[in-house]
Amino acid sequence: MATISVARPTRPRADPLQVALYGAMAVVMTVALLPFVWALLTSLKPERQVFAFPPQLFPDPATLYNYGRAIDHGLLLALFNSTVISLTTVGLVLVAGSLAAYALARITFRGSQLVLFLIIAPMMIPGLVNLVPTYIVMAKLGLLDSYQGLILIYWVHSLPLAIWVLRAFFQTIPGELEDAAAVDGASRLQSLWSIVLPLSQPALAAVALLVFLNAWNEFVIASIMTSSALMRTAQVFLYLNMTDVGVNWGEMMASALAINLPVLALFLLLQRRFIAGLTAGALRF
Amino acid sequence: MQLAIPRRRAAAAARPRRVDLLPYLMVAPAVLVITAFSLLPTLYGVLVSLYRVEFVELLNFVGLRNYSEVLADPRFWNSVRVSFTFTGSSVALTFVAGFGLALLGNQRVRFRGAFRTIALLPWVTSYVVTYLIFRWILNSDFGLLNAVLVEGAGLPRISWLGEPGLALGALVGVDVWRAAPYAMVLLLAGLQGIPQELYEAASIDGATRVRSFFALTLPLMRPTILVLLVLLTIVDFNVVVAMLVLTGGGPGAATEAMSLRMYYEAFTYTRMGPASAIAMIIFAANLVLSGVYMRLLRTERHS
């Protein structure tokens, strides 16, 4: 997926095609950014400016009042819940995923094809289909409204893609490195830990980001699994505030932006890895 | 990789015949949780759809009665219509917009990095956040869009989410805003896989840019395009949150897709039996789509 770009002959400056190109890019960037900017401006307005028509463009004076209100209504707890759930999911996916991917990529064993099939098959089952049975199973196991229940579901949902991507990546690492280590007496697990995993950092990072993003942004399962205010994830908190509290748009926009900030920050810092994860999911399949 | 296989086989033959437990232990956690909490629940879902269910208790076997109940319900057929209208228009428009973005993002111009970054922001944003922001923008009393129309163009206020056709249109529009970047990333990967020499050769032969687009780019992109279309179709077909947050399925049931219908049946009315029947019908539709997907990938690999 490396960027291959060969210089085209440079064109003269006033090329109308270039002008149109930059114009189109400007329009696209505006359309992509405008909703976020509007949400930000709304979140900084005092209530009477939020509900004004025609709307006032800029808040006057800008206030963090809406953010304070969101915090009063439980924003921080919701962010904390989502952080615990998402990070634990990432950890579990990386551990179970690397182990399984390594065995499937590097060790010949009877039944490996069946194992691969069992692991990949769920990718063909849309999450929606499992919603009702998952709810019933979780209710019977007493895992509704708990961290463990959600983490378990997110773990299971993320593993197939993680194993698929990691297995493909492990296969590209030359076997000679491990053979040398084996001669020196390293066990399979030692060579996974000290040779394969360090060399697989790009793939591990891409998988970790994708899993975090999916867990952080997931709503449907979280909405059916959490019932108490204490267990709400960030996305559920946001949705329920919309339906429960009446709609105070200033506060809603404040919560929405605060909840979106972690994934936005990760994306801006680690964009390349994100894109690698996204395309890995779709194209390596 | 090819070199590694015979060597490993030789090693396996030389070793004494003793079952190596290590690989089984390594795959065990993944296989166990996936089987228990993904594969078995799917089978259990089939069972649930054949039972009369009260809350989470399966009471008695009723055969296909849940299915016949669902199929006799006009709201179900309405949701089928909504699903297909939404998915069809959203996929088509997302594809066109995504292709445009990919062509732009592939140009050698300044700010290309910034362009790609900003264009991708909608993709990392969650459904709930996205649709909530747009619900505010489309608000008929205080929304930004009506402000621009009324103040800027002197048009009357429009109730974007209050009219059946407009509400569905708004859903499609926001979905395109959200999904076009995803389409862009996949299509860009495809575009960058096309050897630049082909374009140079074509331009030496006197082909215009437009002509090389239709004669080179489109045919070479065919596998990527087909995969993208099926992926988008599956995602749109299974979406719940878009309707739930933006319109709640309304006005009336004008934007109540099959997926949302199932969600409401199960978790608003706690009618798990009929909900499971709808889930199975959605599953069947997905299997057909996945089958198409696998076929397309197979042809891609062979070519």
Which residue does chain B place closest to A256, by CA atoms?
Answer: B129
CA A71 to chain centre: 24
Residues of B in contact with A278 (CB under 8 A): 123, 182, 185
CB atoms B31 and A119 under 8 Å:
yes
Residues of B in contact with A155 (CB under 8 A): 33
Closest CA to B240 of B226, B258, B225: B258
CB atoms A131 and B196 under 8 Å:
no
What length is written for chain B? 303
Residue A55 contacts B, CB cutoff 8 Å? yes
The interface residues of chain A toward chain B in range 158-187, judged by CB-CB distance below 8 A, are 159-160, 163, 171, 175
Nearest CB partner across the interface for A4, out of B12, B23, B192 = B192
| Cα distances (Å, whole numbers) of residue B50 to A126, A229, B157, B275 | 20, 34, 49, 11
DSSP state, residue A231: G
> What mean pLDDT do residues A240-263 have?
87
Classify residue B174 as exposed, middle or buried by CB count within 10 Å of its CB (0-12, 13-18, 19+): buried
CB atoms A279 and B120 under 8 Å:
no
Decide if B169 contacts B159 (C-beta within 8 A).
no
Closest CA to B186 of B140, B232, B152: B232
- Give the closest-approach CA distance of A29 to chain B in angstroms: 6
Instruction: Report the Cα–Cα distance between both ends of chain A, in Å, rounded.
Output: 14
Q: Specify the pLDDT at position B288.
A: 85
Q: Specify the pLDDT at position A215.
A: 95
CA distance A17 to A144: 58
CA distance A71 to B264: 30
Q: Which two tokens stand for residue A270?
A: 């680690």
Looking up tokens 């053979």 gives A179
HSE-CB of B72 using CA atoms within 13 angstroms: 7
Residue A57 contacts B, CB cutoff 8 Å? no
> What mean pLDDT do residues A261-274 have?
87
CB atoms B115 and A25 under 8 Å:
yes
Residue A114 contacts B, CB cutoff 8 Å? no
CB atoms B37 and A156 under 8 Å:
yes
CA A175 to chain centre: 32
**CB proximity list for A43: less than 8 A, separation 6 or greater:** A66, A67, A250, A251, A253, A254, A256, A257
Phi, psi of B52 (to 5 degrees): -85, 125
Residue A271 contacts B, CB cutoff 8 Å? yes
The interface residues of chain A toward chain B in range 232-261, judged by CB-CB distance below 8 A, are 235, 238-239, 242, 249, 252-253, 256-257, 259-260
Residue A191 contacts B, CB cutoff 8 Å? no
Residue A93 contacts B, CB cutoff 8 Å? no
Residue A19 contacts B, CB cutoff 8 Å? no
CA distance A43 to B135: 15
| ipTM at complex level | 0.88
Residue A50 contacts B, CB cutoff 8 Å? yes
CA distance A118 to B143: 49
pLDDT higher than threshold 70 for residue A17: yes
Which residue does chain A place closest to B120, by CA atoms?
Answer: A32
Looking up tokens 């009324």 gives B150
| Cα distances (Å, whole numbers) of residue B165 to B148, B157, B171, B237, B253 | 21, 16, 10, 19, 11
**CB proximity list for B187: less than 8 A, separation 6 or greater:** B98, B99, B101, B102, B221, B224, B225, B228
Angle at B153 between CA B151 and CA B157, to 5 degrees: 65
Residues of A in contact with B56 (CB under 8 A): 135-136, 139-140
Q: Specify the pLDDT at position B299.
A: 65
Low-confidence stretches of chain B (pLDDT beneath 50): 1-7, 10, 12, 303
CA distance A232 to A235: 8
Residues in a beta bridge with B57? B54
Closest CA to B30 of A119, A252, A63: A119
What length is written for chain A? 285
Confidence of residue A283 (pLDDT cuts 50, 70, 90): very low
Q: Specify the pLDDT at position A244.
A: 63
The sign of the dihedral angle between the CA atoms of B286, B124, B145, B153 is: negative
Angle at B28 between CA B25 and CA B34, to 5 degrees: 170
CA distance B22 to A190: 12
Which of B9, B34, B118, B261 is best to mutate for the A interface (most A CBs within 10 A)?
B34
Which of A10, A136, A192, A248 is best to mutate for the B interface (most B CBs within 10 A)?
A136
At the fourth CATH level, the homologous superfamily of domain B51-302 is MetI-like (1.10.3720.10)
pLDDT higher than threshold 80 for residue A275: no
Residue A137 contacts B, CB cutoff 8 Å? yes
Q: What is the pLDDT of residues A27-77, one digit of tens each?
A: 988 999 999 999 999 999 998 888 887 788 888 888 999 999 999 999 999
Q: What type of residue is B138?
A: L
Prior bond of A55 cis (ω within 30°): no
CA distance A150 to A143: 8
CB atoms B29 and A99 under 8 Å:
yes
pLDDT higher than threshold 50 for residue A126: yes
Residues in a beta bridge with B60? B52
Nearest CB partner across the interface for A109, out of B23, B100, B228 = B23
Q: At B61, which helix (H) or strand (E)?
A: strand B57-61
Residues in a beta bridge with B53? B58
CB atoms B142 and A52 under 8 Å:
yes
The DSSP string of B136-189 is HHT-TTT-HHHHIIIIIH-PPP--TTTSHHHHHHHHHHHHHHHHHHHHHHHHHH
Q: Specify the pLDDT at position A15.
A: 78
Angle at A59 between CA A55 and CA A60, to 5 degrees: 110
- Give the closest-approach CA distance of B171 to chain A in angstroms: 15
Decide if B276 contacts B66 (C-beta within 8 A).
yes
Closest CA to A82 of A206, A205, A217, A209: A217
Residues of B in contact with A109 (CB under 8 A): 20, 23-24
pLDDT higher than threshold 90 for residue A138: yes
Closest CA to B12 of A102, A114, A110, A191: A110
